[in-house]
Structure 1
Amino acid sequence: MRDGAYVRAVSGARLDLAAGECLALVGESGCGKSVLASALLGLLPGNAETAGSAFLGDLDLLAADERTLAVRVRGRRVGLVPQSPAAHLTPVRTVRSQLKETVRELNGVRRGPRLRAAAEEAAERAAFPIGHLDRHPHELSGGLAQRAATALALVGDAPLLLADEPTTGLDRDLVERTVDELRRHIGSERALLLITHDLAAAERIADRVAVMYASRVVELADAADFFGSPGPRHPYARALLDALPEREFTPIPGMPPELGALPAGCAFAARCDRATGICGTRPALTDGVACHHPATVPLEAPRA
């Protein structure tokens, strides 16, 4: 709730994610991606309300109380790689001390050489250089701060890694190294949910892509189909790709609707050159796309 009115930040999202898989959740800023991540970890503000379920194994994350989330989920079952790692790290403590504390809490290694060795092993897993462990966060580059945050997320061997905009503020070379590093940690017992507005990063490592627009998932597709052939089917998803510099570099006209004033029908209709009268009713997510006029390649004119 905001200013006395309800804001539907995420509506009707239905996603699944298997071990060994990377699902990229993409969309413009403000569409609800990070709110979804916060809901899974129980980090929404106190006036927020959730409905539905989000199962991780046999545990419903949305129904879990704060103690369960703190003791059983955060770090142990869901490892968070945050959007702003430098802000996520404690500024007055070295990376080593933060890794040691996390190892102590999650793995039960209490003190001495074993604790030191476990902290260094955690750093090595994320390709964080041992020689930088005694530095404070402000002494790290953006890429090293991201690796430190990744090291912390990996300590508990959580089956789900949740990376929320992990490449924000990084140059392209660091973006590629960061997502490659995240991809390396997906295995037979771990999955990755990558939340990003960087389609190039998603294309590089994702197995599947979910596109969110104005609080709703409007397309869900295999990454090879989405970025290759036949391409996106929802007009918004296609417009996202067409806006990339290496493609048509065509901006999407108009602005997305306010989440507190969503239309009854398709939220993209006001910006879509394929919209007709039927778009005044909300389309269901059917066969991987929520659109009355799903695109083909090449685009065909919609029928009235």
Structure 2
Amino acid sequence: MRGGRHVAAVSDASFDLAAGECLALVGESGCGKSVLASALLGLLPGNAQTAGTAVVDGIDLLAADERTLARAVRGRRVGLVPQSPAAHLTPVRTVRAQLEETLRQLAGTPRAELRPAAVAAAGRASFPVDLLDHYPHQLSGGQAQRAATALALVGDAPLLLADEPTTGLDRDLVERTADELRRHTDTGRGLLLITHDLAAAQRIADRVAVMYAGRVVELTAADRFFGAPGPRHPYARGLLAALPERDFAPIPGMPPELDALPDGCAFAPRCPLRSDTCRAVPLLEDGVACHHAPRPHAAEEAPRA
């Protein structure tokens, strides 16, 4: 809610996620990526979510009550690597204590095995073992990120939501963290990777969903997105072109405020292809929501949506 009015932070974000698959959700800050993750786990205020369904392992997360979410969903069916890990770690307990408690609650680890299991869990996320007895305030941002990742991986949930899991990490740790998350999917679990780091997405994603102003505007296979033929939505093409290793050409203009979206296509004011047709909101069809985007050839497999 802004200025006493309801604002739609996410208004059209439809996709599926198969077992063993990594879907990377990318887009500029403020487009609704983290709001979507919070909604899936019931972490938004009660009046924030007004419609939609999100079914995981037979449970509609958006319709579940708090008891179901707390006892059957969070950590067990859906794990979360939060965007702000320091705010999600318990400040008065050491990392070791939090790992051991999570192992006991989610994995049923016997008390006698908790200590070595906590060391192993830390190792999965490249968290330094010599910092296990530190409190969250004693950790750097990158260390807190790795601690949160270790906690999220403990439950081996069928679905893992990783919200900017590589923030604050150097490139070597980014690659190690991304590879560990990829191994999570190798055991048949799904991964929704929410990230600004397109290099990490390219490294481990099977498909890419691009969000703009609360909507998914492109959904395609990762190899097509990062390789040939490349993205079809002009915003998605702009994201890639802005990378230093590519054209380093920023997208002109600024993302719109969610309470002042233009009529029709929200990207139209920044789009080089805009026309009168863009006054109508484009629907996601054949994996792209754009009136001017090229459609796949009949021989190409249309992406799932």
Normalising by structure 2, report the TM-score: 0.91
Which residue matches 2:300? Answer: none
Which residue matches 1:27? Answer: 27
Equivalent residues in 2 for 1:7-18 (5 A)? 7-18=7-18
Quote the Cα distance in structure 2 between the aligned partners of 1:57 and 1:109. Answer: 23
Could you tell me whether the CA contact under 8 Å between 2:57 and 2:77 is conserved in 1?
Answer: no
Could you tell me whether the CA contact under 8 Å between 2:34 and 2:194 is conserved in 1?
Answer: yes
Range that drifts further, 123-132 or 159-168 = 123-132
Equivalent residues in 2 for 1:114-129 (5 A)? 114-129=113-128
Which residue matches 1:228? Answer: 227
- 1:103 lines up with 2:103 in the alignment: yes
Which residue matches 2:167? Answer: 168
Could you tell me whether the CA contact under 8 Å between 1:235 and 1:295 is conserved in 2?
Answer: no
Q: Shift of the alpha carbon at 1:147?
A: 2.5
Which amino acid in structure 2 is aligned with residue 263 of structure 1? P
Which amino acid in structure 2 is aligned with residue 22 of structure 1? C
Could you tell me whether the CA contact under 8 Å between 2:124 and 2:180 is conserved in 1?
Answer: no
- 1:74 lines up with 2:74 in the alignment: yes
Which residue matches 1:86? Answer: 86
Quote the Cα distance in structure 2 between the aligned partners of 1:186 and 1:175. Answer: 17
Normalising by structure 1, report the TM-score: 0.91
Gaps of 5+ in 2: 296-305
Could you tell me whether the CA contact under 8 Å between 1:210 and 1:219 is conserved in 2?
Answer: yes
Which amino acid in structure 1 is aligned with residue 277 of structure 2? I
Q: Shift of the alpha carbon at 1:99?
A: 0.8
Which amino acid in structure 1 is aligned with residue 120 of structure 2? E
Q: Shift of the alpha carbon at 1:109?
A: 4.1
Identity of matched residues, %: 76
Which residue matches 1:197? Answer: 196
Q: Shift of the alpha carbon at 1:151?
A: 1.6
Query: Structure 1, residues 155-210: CA drift from partner, whole Å, max 9, x if none?
Result: 21201111001122333333222212211222243111000112121111111000
Going from structure 1 to structure 2, the CA distance change for 1:47 and 1:281 (only over 3 Å counts) comes to same
- 1:45 lines up with 2:50 in the alignment: no
Q: Shift of the alpha carbon at 1:142?
A: 4.0
- 1:131 lines up with 2:130 in the alignment: yes
Question: Matched residue pairs, number?
Answer: 296
Corresponding residue SS for 1:185: helix
Which amino acid in structure 2 is aligned with residue 245 of structure 1? P
Query: Structure 1, residues 72-92: CA drift from partner, whole Å, max 9, x if none?
Result: 010001111112223322233
Corresponding residue SS for 2:220: strand
Equivalent residues in 2 for 1:247-262 (5 A)? 247-262=246-261
Quote the Cα distance in structure 1 between the aligned partners of 2:97 and 2:232. Answer: 48
Which amino acid in structure 2 is aligned with residue 70 of structure 1? A
Range that drifts further, 136-145 or 177-186 = 136-145
Let me know the Cα RMSD of the aligned residues: 1.9
Gaps of 5+ in 1: 297-304
Quote the Cα distance in structure 1 between the aligned partners of 2:156 and 2:189. Answer: 8
Which residue matches 1:287? Answer: 286
Quote the Cα distance in structure 1 between the aligned partners of 2:46 and 2:55. Answer: 22
Q: Shift of the alpha carbon at 1:256?
A: 1.5
Could you tell me whether the CA contact under 8 Å between 1:81 and 1:166 is conserved in 2?
Answer: yes
Quote the Cα distance in structure 1 between the aligned partners of 2:179 and 2:208. Answer: 17
Which amino acid in structure 1 is aligned with residue 116 of structure 2? A
Corresponding residue SS for 2:252: coil
